[in-house]
Amino acid sequence: MIEVSTAAIAALMGVIFTLSTFERWIAKKKPHELAWTISLSLFVVAAFALAIGAQGGWTHLTFKIFYLFGAILNVPFLGVGTVYLLFGKRTGDICLGAVLAFSFLSIGLIISQPFISPLPVHQLAQGSKVFGPLPRILAGVGSGVGATVVFVGAAVSFFKSKVLRFRISNLLIALGTAITGASGLLNSIGNAMEAFSITLALGISVIFLGFLTAVTA
């Protein structure tokens, strides 16, 4: 099954990416790398939940884990890392506090949120069909604002940098962010689980390539 294999690839790529940023944080203790490590860890959990749901069928627990970590929480922490990198510790700490408050609110709401219709077992359900408005609002705010911060930060860094490999790195990060945000379009033209797994694997691979381009001499 395409969705299982690509979701597993995305998860394994995320593990490698997470270990890379975590290793750099241990060595240099830079807060943006810790924020990225948290974001990527959440991404890995969501990707594994997708693989499990695609392989064995969706349950309320696996879908809520996928929705919470994949659609709501991981992108805001990626945005926090961008803020730390571009604007420094003081502004980054403020953003981190806001994202942590948002995260605790989201966790409580998703845990307690009932399903308004039966959850499809062998298809990836759309949040609008199984949840009320609050989870969808959280997903829109978390992913939308976080992705915008990452994309704009990469674009600004691209134009400010005079080093070619940094320009290429920021271009790849912006492209990878755009790819992961294109899942809605793929949902409209293909199988939902295939669409999400393909965008996860491709998007995280492009972003990781951008990271490697920046940190490798």
Nearest of 190, 93, 200 to residue 143 by alpha carbon: 200
104 pLDDT above the threshold of 90: yes
How far apart CA 92 and CA 217 sit, in angstroms, is 27
Asked if 191 contacts 3 with a C-beta cutoff of 8 angstroms, the reply is: yes
Domain boundaries, the chain: 2-215
pLDDT cut 70: percent of the chain above it: 94
In whole angstroms, what separates CA 41 from the centre of its chain?
9
Nearest to 10 by CA among 195, 215, 212: 195
Is the CB of residue 143 less than 8 Å from the CB of residue 71?
A: yes
The confidence score (pLDDT) of residue 44 equals 94
Residue 155's pLDDT band (cuts 50, 70, 90): confident
Domain 2-215 sits in CATH at 1.20.1070.10
The pLDDT value given to residue 83: 93
pLDDT score, position 189: 52
Question: Would you say residue 85 has pLDDT above 80?
Answer: yes
- On the question of pLDDT at 153 being above 70, the answer is yes
* Cα–Cα nearest to 124, from 195, 186, 181: 195
pTM of the model: 0.90
Asked if residue 89 has pLDDT above 60, the reply is yes
Q: Give how far Cα 31 sits from Cα of 66, 75, 91, Å.
A: 26, 16, 12
On the question of pLDDT at 182 being above 90, the answer is no
pLDDT digits (tens, 9 = 90+) for 54-68: 888 899 999 999 999
Residue 192, pLDDT score: 62
